[in-house]
Amino acid sequence: MSVFDGKRLPAGFFQIDTERLREGWYSDAYFLNTEMILTTLAEEGYNFNGMSDIIEIDNINNINGISPVNLNNGDIIVEMQFFTRRRPFSLIAGTDEAIAILRECTGYFNDKGQFVNTYHTMEVEAAMDGVVNFYEGNPKEVSPIMKIKGKYRDFARLETPILGVLTESTRIATNVYNVLAAAGGKDIMFFPARFAHYKVQEMHGYAYALAVKAYNQKYGKSSRAIVSTNAQGNWWGAHGGGTVAHASIACFLGDTAETMMQFCRVVPQEVPRIALVDFHNDCVGDTLKVMEKMFLAFLELYQAGRYNEAEKYRLFGVRLDTSGNMRDVSIPPLGDKNLDCGVNPRLVWNVRNAIDRAYESWDFPDSYAELAKAWCQQVKIIATGGFDAAKISRFEEMRVPVDIYGVGSSFLENSNVNNTKNDFTADIVKVKIDDKWYDLSKVGRRSCSNPDLGLVGGI
């Protein structure tokens, strides 16, 4: 069952380019060629005039008792299955959009150039977005997440965009799921917007949220879905969040503490105050400057009884984003780039220790010591820059005190390394002749089943 309550997303969410999908604008040319050939044969009334290794032809020119006169290849009805073979599993996403494409774009153009929708003549089975699809490695034992039965020339041109939707959505969802597993359910900020075309942000954000909910449901966790753009949250009703960028600090002439003071003063209180502290490659130093300035502003308002206003100056966390080719000034060199540079465990521990004891050097009345201590120790550490499931796993195994990870480009990866390749493919596995289905597929493939498949309703 889908983690989104068993309901499919409305077709309108996807803003499908219906006109150009129908015209084959996004289709590989060989599918268009096939459609043109089948359409021409149907118009000509062509009947099968070849030989088949799958269906035996007897000596009176019948195909298993079926006369070739009745076999019009142009109108051939097929069963096509769509599947992926990522090991050991994939978290499926994109079926809702694929179905929306089929509903809107299955059919043909008549002699007057009008599109005739024939989706109602098809039978479509599909898994719900959010199901986990397992694959053990046997190429003949795939678990299809969608099956289409219908006149092939009516949907041939849709194979390319459907495969693309399923591949991209499922890859993101599965990669996010694996990162959450590596982080043990800690919050994962979704930061790939700058690494992909802006038009795919909505789909990416949906796949991310799907994975967060699936992981929480599976393991009883409460990880939050945190996106950076409004587009990423559009399909599920969320808004982008964030605080400051390096460019913000540059606008304040490199003064990170003053940047945060103005952020706190101007930005609504419900936005978490997260300081980016690597501008000078001195995460500890900038963290301490930000904390002291913000706490003293907090304390002044607190002492005046303006408690709600004081909360504007409560630091939620600091974000470490040190470049992988830079060594923070707090890190004594060991001569190994992997140990010295970027956001590494030693840097996180240095910052954590500095945060927890920062109040000890501040000038305030002793009666507020416990308040200051609590204010400091609730500050979280957000680690970003070059994180993926493998790096997060190392940090978690070492119990590095990261509270939240921010992950970007690794969510988009689709390589053969560690079986992360998430490509989908589709095959015709059966043909229908005189109301009887015959197995027919390329060598190495066959029609397979999946209990997660369910019939999809009509238009």
Domain boundaries of the chain, sorted by first residue? 11-170+420-455, 173-417
Strands 132-134 and 89-91, how do they pair? antiparallel
Task: Name the residue type at position 394.
Answer: R
Instruction: Domain 173-417: give its CATH superfamily.
Output: Aldolase class I (3.20.20.70)
pLDDT confidence of residue 48 = 85
CB atoms under 10 Å from CB of 89, counted, come to 18
Q: Does residue 420 have a pLDDT over 90?
A: no
Spatial CA neighbour of 227 closest among 218, 219, 238, 216: 238
pLDDT band at 1 (very low <50, low <70, confident <90, very high): very low
pLDDT confidence of residue 418 = 55
pLDDT confidence of residue 57 = 59
Bigger pLDDT: 67 vs 442: 442
Whole-angstrom Cα distance, residue 415 to residue 388? 14
Whole-angstrom Cα distance, residue 341 to residue 276? 17
pLDDT in tens, 243-297: 999 999 999 999 999 999 999 999 999 999 999 999 999 999 999 999 999 999 9
Q: Does residue 419 have a pLDDT over 90?
A: no
Whole-angstrom Cα distance, residue 355 to residue 404? 16
Average pLDDT over residues 392-401: 97
Spatial CA neighbour of 144 closest among 365, 438, 430, 457: 430
Spatial CA neighbour of 384 closest among 185, 245, 191: 191
pLDDT confidence of residue 2 = 43
Classify domain 11-170+420-455 at the CATH class level.
Answer: alpha beta
Residue 222, helix vs strand vs coil: coil
- Cβ atoms of 138 and 165 closer than 8 Å: no
Spatial CA neighbour of 248 closest among 233, 232, 264, 268: 264
Q: Does residue 417 have a pLDDT over 60?
A: no
pLDDT confidence of residue 421 = 72
- Cβ atoms of 204 and 192 closer than 8 Å: yes
What is the average pLDDT value for the chain, to the nearest integer? 92
Bigger pLDDT: 230 vs 70: 230
- Cβ atoms of 121 and 148 closer than 8 Å: no
Long-range contacts of 443-450 (CB under 8 A, 24+ apart): 444/139, 444/140, 445/139, 445/140, 445/142, 446/140, 447/79, 447/81, 448/81, 448/83, 448/140, 448/141, 448/142, 448/143, 448/144, 449/144, 450/127, 450/133, 450/143, 450/144, 450/145
Residue 281, helix vs strand vs coil: coil
Whole-angstrom Cα distance, residue 252 to residue 295? 20
Average pLDDT over residues 170-187: 96
